[in-house]
Every structure is written in C-alpha cells, then in structure tokens.
Amino acid sequence: MSNHEHEHCGCGCEHHEHDHKPMDKYMTAINQSTVNIDDAAVTAAVQEIIDKHAAENNTPEVQQFLLNCVDLTTLATEDSESSVARFVQKVNDFDNNYPQYKNVAAICVYSNFAAVVRGTLEVSGVDVAVCSACFPSSQAHIETKIAETALAVADGADEVDIVLNVGYFKDEAYEELCDEIAEIKHVVGDRPLKVILETGLLKSAEAIRRASILSMYSGCDFIKTSTGKIYPGASLEAAYVMCQCIKEYFIQHGRMVGFKASGGIRTTEDAVKYYTIVKEVLGEKWLNNKYFRIGASSLANSLFQSFTGTDAKPF
C-alpha cells in the first residue's frame, strides 16, 4: 500500500515501510478475531435468534422501515437507457402517489447508467448506487476498475458496490486484495463503498470471516453478501458471521461498517429475518439505512403489499 492508501485502511494499526513481511499484518488481523467460525454453531445461533425474535419483528412498522433500506436494483443484460429511466420513474411516482411513506434508500444499476438515474431521479433522499469495478466477476486490470468507478462517480453515483477479488482471496494474496479495495475507495472518496464478498462462493464461516475482516481493514463502508448472479445469494448464516465481524471491528477500532444483504431476498418474511439478525447482533445503532441495506428488485413490492394490505405493485 502507498502511504495515501493506508489512510483509508480504517484499522487503527501502524504501517512501517521497513516491514519485510507484509502478509503479517493481514494474518494478524485475521488471527486476532474471536468470531465463531464453527459452521454448526453458526447455524444453531441463527436458528435460535430467528425462533425467538423474527415473529415479533414482522410488523407494519418494521416493514415500512425495511422498504426505506432497499437498494432497488436492476442489473439485467437487457437494461438500456430507456428501461432504466422507466425503472427510476417508478420511484418518482411512488413519492408522488404515497407521500406518507418513506421511499427506497437507493436505486442500484450498472455503472454506465449512473447518469441516466441522476438525470431521471426527482426524489430527494434516494441515492444513485452503481455496481462497478467489473461487476460481477471483478476480473479486470485494476486500471480498468479504477477508470470505471471514476466515470460512474463523475456521472453522479452516490454509492459504489464492488466485488471482492476472489482470485486474490483464494490465493491468499491479501496485500494485493487490500490494495485494490483501498485504491478504489480512494476514487470513491467519502461516498459509501460496499464490498461484495460473494458468500455463496466462499461458503464456510471461516472464509466469510476472513473476507469480512480484510474488506473492513481496507477501508470499505459496507460489507455485502452476494451479487445474486452466479453463486448462491444471501444466507442468514453468512449475515450472522458478517455482523459478528462488524461488531468486533467496531469494538476494536471504533468505526461503524454497514451490512448489506442481497441475492434472492424476495419476501417480507425473508427481509424481516435479516432485520432480526442485524438487530440482535449489532443492535439499534445499525437499524437505519446508513448502515443497513437490502439489495433487491421484487422485495419492495412485497413489503409495500405487507404493510398496506393491498395487491398494489408500485415498483
């Protein structure tokens, strides 16, 4: 890492140019973690939380809150300027037709559509989010990833979602992995950077913990479960491990990192379960859309139908 990039690592650690073992600082951060990585224990803990608390959280108030945490997403091969503009118009119309309810948190699109969303969006309080850096594979030169992200920011992106370089992760090339995230964070600036771990590919609690720590160490603002593209999407077990890592990181370094669940979350019941994990593991401080998001396309309508008792599909 360059000295400038170290400013963004957020880990509170000291970096020395004479450090001849750059891997040590990454392994030290991982080895210091006490987050439980026993998969069976994680599954049992999740089941206990859901059994005890999910039902009590499935209320109209929570459902309305969850709508305001949705990153309303379109990431289709057939997306076009006109289709994205129509997608955004639904958010504008919701604001006009249902002013008594809070809108979604953000509209999430491919990076090349940031300008379309910015130009069409008429609602204050809804961010323009983009998936960048060669989403969903993260396979490209770092210069390409930087350029794509810089262009999206210039086009009006408020938030940037990128995918962890899983190739580096698998090879345990942690310095390269962390440098890449830090360089992209430098381009993103003070806008939220969300790092997608692709938990359905990582699978184990141990790997998810490692990826969570490295991403936060590199200065990201959110850790996110999945792309929802090739591998299995979000799971409650992955969410639990990630939230435990966020909690531990906050205790160690005093910096709040957000959590985003995405990939296959379609029903109100599913969304409430993720809310329940965040509430029970991280607590009330994380229960706002600055620190909790759900990436979804059809979920927004399910939530709206739940708290209004109607069949309307505003999104």
Q: Which residue of the set 194, 260, 273, 279 is catalytic?
A: 260
Compute the distance between CA of residue 305 and CA of residue 215 in angstroms, rounded to an integer.
36
DSSP state, residue 53? H
Q: Where are the beta strands (DSSP E) in 134-208?
A: 159-163, 193-196
Q: Which residue of the set 25, 145, 224, 273 is catalytic?
A: 224
Compute the distance between CA of residue 213 and CA of residue 308 in angstroms, rounded to an integer.
40
CA nearest neighbour of 160 among 152, 169, 170: 152
CA nearest neighbour of 278 among 248, 225, 236: 236
CA nearest neighbour of 94 among 59, 136, 122: 122
Coil, strand or helix at 191: coil
Two tokens, residue 315: 């999104």
Whose tokens are 């224990």? That residue is 41
How many C-beta atoms lie closer than 10 Å to residue 81's C-beta? 13
CA nearest neighbour of 239 among 269, 268, 200: 200
Compute the distance between CA of residue 206 and CA of residue 117 in angstroms, rounded to an integer.
38
Coil, strand or helix at 129: strand
Q: Which residue of the set 155, 161, 179, 221 is catalytic?
A: 161
Compute the distance between CA of residue 185 and CA of residue 5 in angstroms, rounded to an integer.
9
- To the query of whether residue 170 is one of the catalytic residues in this protein, the response is no
| Amino acid in position 28 | T
- To the query of whether residue 24 is one of the catalytic residues in this protein, the response is no
- To the query of whether residue 25 is one of the catalytic residues in this protein, the response is no
Please report, in angstroms and rounded to a whole number, the separation of the first and last CA atoms in the chain: 43
Two tokens, residue 170: 């698998």
Question: Which of the residues are catalytic?
Answer: 161, 224, 260
